Amino acid sequence: MRIIFALVVLAFAYIKYTISTTKETNPYAGEVQRVALTPEQEVQMGLQAVNQMAAQHGGLHPDQVAQDFVDKVGAKLVTHTNSILEPGAKPIGYPFEFHVLRDEEAVNAFALPGGLVFITAALLKKFQSEDQLAGVLGHEVGHVLAKHSNQQMAKGGLFAGVGQAVAVLVGGDGGMGGHTTGSMANKVLSSKFARDDETESDTIGAELMKQAGYDARQLIEVMKILQESSGGGGGPDFLSTHPFRRAGSIT
């Protein structure tokens, strides 16, 4: 009975996943994916979250020179997004915006759904070349184009369902052991797809760099900068949220 109940839980999660999501082929990554939001909804979600995310990092940086520099590099990369489209695919047309955050402590960069890209002043000041900045911004643009946040929202319910099914199998008596194992299963699945997303963003970002005339090999130098920023501790925020591929594999 425990197995049957677990299968029912899993089946319900999968049915809910397929009904509440849309299947499509990503025009930039070329992969078949399921998403929870339309591009318009992604943009709206990003706009709703922008003030909150900026506030968490001390607001936007007042240095207009730094902001103009980031805008220039970001625009140069975005100009070439159509050149990496899959054959016959139509561009999504995300209204990309790039913002420098005032935060002088957290070494980080991230993107919101719909094209909002952020980089902290702490990370920006560590770069020694425009190519290095292009590497990080290109990586974040890659996340947006590949719809990684959108995919993760779509998969969230399915992963939770798998975790619940595992919990039923392991802890049929309602004990904490089943719940703990179920949570671990959910986390393992999420982490695996997160690593895949980082690899995909690396690939898209490197291609955009090449198209824009930047040296994609500078991504290796970016990795060195981030490793040095860790100071032997837990590492900068960027590395904890962006598990890049080994630097030696970037070409």
Which contiguous run of DSSP H or E holds residue 32?
Answer: strand 32-35
Positions in the chain short of pLDDT 50: 172-176, 181-182, 184-193, 232-235, 243-251
Q: Provide the pLDDT for residue 234.
A: 44
pLDDT tens digit string along 74-94? 999 999 999 999 999 999 999
Cα 69 to Cα 15: distance, rounded to the nearest angstrom = 47
Structure tokens belonging to residue 218: 């500078």
Which contiguous run of DSSP H or E holds residue 172?
Answer: none
31 flagged as catalytic: no
Cα 245 to Cα 232: distance, rounded to the nearest angstrom = 19
Distances (CA, A) of 235 to 37, 227, 228, 231: 33, 7, 9, 7
Q: Provide the pLDDT for residue 187.
A: 46
Domain range for 57: 2-249
- pTM above 0.75? yes
Alpha helix stretches (DSSP H) within 79-147: 121-124, 130-145
Structure tokens belonging to residue 88: 């016959």
Q: Provide the pLDDT for residue 237.
A: 57
Among residues 161, 135, 146, the alpha carbon closest in space to that of 224 is found at 135
- Given the residues 42, 104, 130, 140, the one annotated as active site: 140
Cα 200 to Cα 223: distance, rounded to the nearest angstrom = 17
Count of structural domains, the chain: 1
Alpha helix stretches (DSSP H) within the chain: 2-20, 39-55, 64-78, 121-124, 130-145, 148-170, 176-211, 218-229, 237-241
Distances (CA, A) of 206 to 165, 210, 217: 39, 6, 8
Tell me the CB-side half-sphere exposure of residue 108, using CA atoms within 13 A. Answer: 18
